[in-house]
């Protein structure tokens, strides 16, 4: 029920009401309302119950295990949020003069330095507002680099078929043609196909390492050699950075540009549409093209903004200010709390948890998509046998998991593995939680064999039953009409 439907004239909720009417001076008369806004009128108890109930309907990381692969839906420590919200940080205006922003700017400078160290890149810009914009920035810089060299014949970006959909989309957004290359059955990039694909038309390659099939790309050094020899550059998708923090660095693998999803790897909740932060790191040759503004420190230890004036070859600005300040601050706090050793432990536990779960699920009879490979921070189970023999598919398993109190893993991605679950437990889950998930999978397997209809009609225990996503896509109806019941 919507809160509007509980509304009756004259009811008031005093605890939730503003303490005082806000100051309205300065707003021109013609912009002021003539009538009161049609807000719901409910009692204090109704307001409390309504929003408490809504929060209980939420399936969230605070209440449930959330093993969404390729997304790193990990716990975001409260301390990061609390410290990023200190009044001085929260109240800082982005147009405040440098003199009044030295504290914030010192954090940003340090964050830049830490990200350089973590990734092995020569320089970092914090500007991009999210992962997709980070990717865009990466390829835009590759374009700027080739243009600056007068190398305009380079028209193609190579993308392995296991890539995130954003990779080819980014290449096209930057005016490139996408050249797809296959992945071998062991999860590595097909080097022969890569060798055939590169040439004077190659602008670069976009790669995720560990890849979206949850394994480390073992031939990365050879890939870098092949692409560089052809005159192309290597662009790293930072989606899976969590697996390698403090262990190995994209800069050392030969990448020329990388983007990091600070909102997944560095402690900002995500998945609700933002805001995010997608800083980019670059090798020496791409340094001049980094987006501005960037924080710098002068000889006196004072911080200042680098702009187009100091960086004439920059690809320019991507948003009004220097990135999403709150998300960047949380990342800085997170990195400071973890420190160098903590960072390594993140990667180790993320990887240990994934391999533990993969081994337990395999022993329970589930089929791993890449059984001969050690998993990184995530791994893939394929339910094609269940789909074929029991007519219970990955989506049915996913929906049934909800009844058992577990958020489903990523389903049907990557596309090249049929009926797949991409499972990423993350480093912050206890062994009991991982065991519980495995037990739920085993229980669902039994149900699929003995009472498949229960699984196929799931979920049964949630506020909303199985959604008709086909009808939702074919006949989208996004209006709410007063009196409508959902």
Partner 1 sequence: MSNIPSELKYTKTHDWVRDEGDGKVTVGITDHAQELLGDLVFVELPEVGAEINAGDECAVVESVKAASDVYCPLNGEVIEVNEALADAPETINSDAFDEGWMFRLQLVDAGELDGLMDAEAYAEHCENEEH
In the complex, the smallest distance separating the C-beta of residue 467 from partner 1, rounded to whole angstroms, is: 10
Of the pair 122, 384, the CB lying nearest partner 1 is at: 384
User: Least distance from C-beta 399 to partner 1, angstroms?
Assistant: 13
Classify each residue of 364-380 as buried b or exposed e, where b means 16 or more C-beta atoms within 10 Å of its C-beta. eebebbbeebebbbbbb
| C-alpha span between 179 and 423 (Å, rounded) | 28
How do strand 367-368 and strand 379-382 relate by DSSP bridges? antiparallel
Whether the CB-CB separation of 358 and 434 falls below 8 Å is answered with: no
- 178 versus 352: smaller Cβ distance to partner 1: 178
Interacting residues of 420 by C-beta distance below 8 A, sequence separation 6+? 369, 380, 381, 382, 383, 394, 411, 412, 413, 414
Identity of the residue, 349 or 412, whose beta carbon is nearer to partner 1 in the bound complex: 412
Contact indicator for 65, 436 with CB cutoff of 8 Å: yes
Q: Which residue has the tokens 């992945």?
A: 183
**Cα–Cα distance for residue pair 461/404, rounded to 1 Å:** 9
Residues whose CB falls within 8 Å of the CB of residue 231, separated by 6 or more in sequence, listed in order: 151, 154, 200, 202
Which pair of tokens denotes residue 174? Answer: 């930057």
The stretches of 96-236 forming alpha helices (DSSP H) are 102-119, 131-148, 166-173, 191-197, 220-229
Work out how close the CB of 470 gets to partner 1 at its nearest, in angstroms, rounded to a whole number.
4
Q: Which is nearer to partner 1, 105 or 401 (CB)?
A: 401
DSSP label at 366?
A: P
Which of 473/486 has CB closer to partner 1?
Answer: 473
Which lies closer to partner 1 via its Cβ, residue 85 or residue 415? 415
Beta bridge partners of 235: 206, 257
| Cα separation, 437 vs 425, whole angstroms | 10
Name the residue among 72, 66, 79 with its Cα closest to residue 276: 72
Q: How far is C-alpha 399 from the chain's CA centre?
A: 22
Is the bond preceding residue 405 a cis peptide, omega within 30 degrees?
Answer: no
Nearest distance in Å: CB 172, partner 1: 12
Q: Where are the beta strands (DSSP E) in 31-169?
A: 123-125, 156-160
CB of 388 to partner 1, least distance (A): 8
Smaller CB separation from partner 1, 275 or 418: 418
CB-nearer residue toward partner 1: 27 or 473 = 473
Q: How far is the CB of 165 from partner 1 (least distance, A)?
A: 8
Q: How far is the CB of 257 from partner 1 (least distance, A)?
A: 27
Name the minimum Å distance from CB 276 to partner 1. 23
Pairing mode of beta strands 233-238, 202-208? parallel
Q: Tell me which residues touch partner 1 (CB under 8 A).
A: 384, 412, 415, 418, 469-470, 473-474
213/227 with CB nearer partner 1: 213
The alpha helices in 205-267, defined as continuous H runs, are: 220-229, 250-253, 262-265
Report the nearest approach of partner 1 to the CB of residue 420 (Å).
11
- Shorter beta-carbon distance to partner 1: residue 8 or 177: 177
**CB 412, min distance to partner 1, A:** 5
What distance, in Å, lies between the first and last C-alpha atoms of the chain? 8
């Amino acid at each position: 029920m919507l809160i509007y439907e509980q509304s009756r004239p004259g009811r008031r909720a005093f605890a939730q009401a503003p303490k005082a009417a806000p100051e309205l001076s300065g707003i021109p008369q013609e912009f002021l309302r003539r009538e009161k806004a049609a807000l719901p009128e409910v009692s204090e108890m109704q307001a409390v119950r309504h929003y408490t109930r809504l929060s209980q309907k939420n399936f969230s990381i605070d209440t449930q295990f959330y093993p969404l692969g390729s997304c790193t839906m990990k716990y975001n420590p409260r301390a990061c949020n609390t410290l990023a919200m200190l009044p001085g940080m929260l109240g800082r205006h982005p147009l405040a003069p440098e003199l009044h922003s030295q504290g914030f700017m010192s954090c940003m400078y340090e964050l830049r330095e830490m990200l350089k160290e973590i990734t092995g890149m020569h320089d970092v810009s914090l500007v991009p507002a999210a992962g997709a914009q980070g990717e865009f920035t990466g390829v835009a810089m590759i374009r700027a680099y080739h243009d600056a060299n007068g190398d305009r014949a380079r028209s193609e970006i190579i993308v392995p078929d296991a890539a995130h959909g954003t990779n080819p989309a980014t290449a096209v957004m930057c005016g490139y043609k996408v050249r797809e290359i296959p992945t071998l059955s062991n999860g590595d990039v097909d080097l022969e196909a890569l060798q055939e694909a590169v040439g004077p038309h190659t602008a670069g390659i976009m790669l995720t390492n560990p890849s979206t099939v949850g394994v480390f790309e073992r031939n990365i050094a050879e890939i870098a050699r092949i692409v560089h020899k052809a005159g192309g550059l290597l662009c790293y998708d930072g989606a899976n950075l969590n697996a390698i923090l403090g262990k190995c660095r994209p800069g050392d693998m030969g990448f020329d540009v990388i983007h990091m999803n600070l909102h997944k790897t560095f402690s900002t909740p995500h998945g609700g549409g933002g805001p995010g932060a997608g800083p980019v790191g670059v090798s020496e040759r791409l340094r001049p093209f980094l987006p501005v503004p960037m924080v710098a420190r002068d000889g006196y230890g004072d911080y200042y903004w680098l702009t187009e004036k100091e960086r004439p070859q920059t690809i320019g600005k991507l948003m009004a200010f220097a990135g999403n300040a709150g998300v960047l601050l949380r990342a800085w706090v997170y990195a400071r709390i973890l420190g160098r050793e903590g960072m390594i432990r993140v990667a180790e536990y993320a990887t240990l948890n994934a391999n533990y779960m993969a081994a337990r699920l395999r022993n329970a009879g589930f089929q791993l998509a890449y059984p001969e490979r050690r998993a990184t921070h995530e791994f893939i189970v394929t339910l094609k046998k269940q789909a074929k023999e029991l007519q219970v598919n990955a989506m049915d398993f996913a929906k049934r998991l909800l009844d058992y109190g577990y958020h489903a893993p990523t389903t049907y991605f990557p596309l090249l593995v049929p009926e797949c679950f991409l499972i990423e437990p993350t480093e912050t889950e206890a062994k009991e939680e991982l065991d519980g998930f495995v037990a739920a999978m085993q229980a669902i397997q039994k149900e699929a064999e003995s009472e498949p209809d229960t699984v196929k009609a799931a979920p049964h225990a949630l506020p909303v039953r199985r959604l008709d996503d086909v009808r939702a896509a074919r006949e989208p109806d996004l209006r709410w009409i007063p009196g409508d019941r959902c």
